[in-house]
């Protein structure tokens, strides 16, 4: 049966540990820059219904944990799917798709809307780094509306699309921010999700080569928060939920904490979830679990009873036999209301 299932990139317990992940998810850096440079314009953008979630994530103070993200990348399952990522933790398969991306971010993820109108075109002269270092004072003389557009562009490039500041700004996004109504209609969720998945795929070979460092593009914060939601114990290691009963809204706005987690803590956590120190292997349980997976019909199954010491009873005591019979009749009558555990949550 194992040959029919996706295989892991690394065998459990043999995942490598990198010393550095050069992520381009620089929310804190961008916001600090604009607080000092264009604070009034930044306050305007903060009120945008699409972008407000990003600022909430920053203000809640959830730290970025490259170790959590990398640990899950090393637990990826190799599949042929184009728009899904699959991982395994403590033997449990976990899916990361556009649906989960939307649940974490709240970004527009309607794949029925075409994004082909935004063709990839670049202007080789405009970079955010140049504007900050060479044209900082000149930007302050721009019209107020244009300064606001610049902040939108920075958030788009360094949060949604996650591009390094030295890269030229794609002309398609410059054109989008010229019409701020289009900003709210653009499919940021689909674009950011695809970029993240492509970045993960590009790093497969580097992971297998057990590199000590690599660059991860895309809004990788989402992978971290999804991991914290999918494996609650990892969530507790990274931080805490602001509202334990939180249900409506993107998950990214409901977490805070330093997210200072070590590889050893993640490995230890996976081991204690998977195994108990004093557990004994029983092949019969493996057979039982296999039958549960295959939805075996238990209605006619007769469970054998383990032989025990014989208890001496009087043959003249008919009440014992009658009581036993009455109990069996009651059990038979209530059989329709009785459901055995399917075990799906533990399989």
pLDDT of residue 112: 62
pLDDT of residue 282: 75
Both tokens of 339, joined, read: 């459901």
Let me know how long the chain is. 347
CB 212 within 8 Å of CB 21: no
CB 123 within 8 Å of CB 169: yes
Find the mean pLDDT for residues 143-158: 85
pLDDT of residue 224: 95
Based on the number of CB atoms within 10 Å of its own CB, is 8 exposed (0-12), middle (13-18) or buried (19 or more)?
Answer: middle
Question: In angstroms, what is the C-alpha Rg of the chain?
Answer: 28
Based on the number of CB atoms within 10 Å of its own CB, is 340 exposed (0-12), middle (13-18) or buried (19 or more)?
Answer: exposed
Q: Compute how many other C-beta atoms are within 10 angstroms of the C-beta atom of residue 42.
A: 21
How far apart are the C-alpha atoms of 110 and 99, rounded to whole Å?
10
The residues spanned by each domain of the chain are 2-274, 283-337
Find the mean pLDDT for residues 150-165: 71
pTM higher than 0.85 for the full model? no
Whether 109 has a pLDDT exceeding 50, the answer reads yes
pLDDT in tens, 316-337: 555 444 444 443 444 444 333 3
**Pair type for strands 7-8 and 76-78:** antiparallel
pLDDT of residue 139: 84
């Amino acid at each position: 049966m194992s040959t029919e299932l996706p295989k892991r990139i690394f065998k459990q317990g043999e995942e490598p540990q990198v010393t550095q992940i050069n992520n381009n998810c620089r929310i804190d850096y961008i916001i600090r820059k604009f607080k000092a440079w264009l604070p009034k314009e930044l306050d305007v953008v903060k009120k945008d219904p699409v972008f407000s979630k990003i600022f909430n994530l920053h203000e809640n103070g959830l730290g970025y944990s490259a170790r959590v993200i990398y640990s899950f990348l090393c637990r990826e399952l190799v599949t042929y799917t184009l728009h899904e990522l699959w991982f395994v933790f403590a033997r449990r398969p976990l899916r990361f798709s556009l649906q989960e991306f939307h649940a974490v971010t709240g970004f527009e993820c309607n794949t029925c809307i075409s994004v082909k109108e935004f063709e990839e075109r670049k202007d080789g002269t405009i970079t955010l780094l140049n504007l900050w270092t060479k044209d900082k004072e000149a930007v302050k003389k721009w019209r107020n509306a244009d300064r606001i557009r610049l902040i939108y562009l920075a958030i788009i490039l360094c949060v949604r699309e996650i591009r390094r500041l030295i890269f030229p700004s794609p002309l398609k996004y410059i054109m989008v921010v010229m019409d701020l109504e289009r900003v709210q209609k653009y499919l940021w969720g689909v674009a950011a999700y695809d970029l993240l998945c492509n970045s993960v795929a590009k790093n497969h070979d580097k992971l297998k080569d057990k590199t000590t460092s690599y660059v991860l593009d895309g809004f990788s914060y989402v992978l971290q928060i999804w991991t914290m939601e999918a494996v609650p114990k990892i969530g507790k290691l990274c931080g805490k939920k602001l509202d334990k009963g939180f249900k409506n809204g993107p998950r990214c706005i409901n977490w805070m904490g330093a997210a200072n987690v070590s590889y050893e803590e993640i490995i230890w956590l996976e081991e204690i979830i998977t195994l108990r120190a004093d557990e004994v292997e029983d092949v019969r349980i493996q057979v039982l679990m296999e039958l549960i997976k295959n939805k075996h019909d238990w209605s006619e199954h007769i469970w054998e009873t383990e032989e025990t010491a014989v208890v001496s009873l009087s043959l003249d005591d008919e009440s014992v036999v009658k009581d036993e019979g009455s109990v069996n009749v009651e059990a038979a009558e209530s059989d329709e209301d009785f459901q055995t555990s399917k075990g799906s949550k533990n399989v």
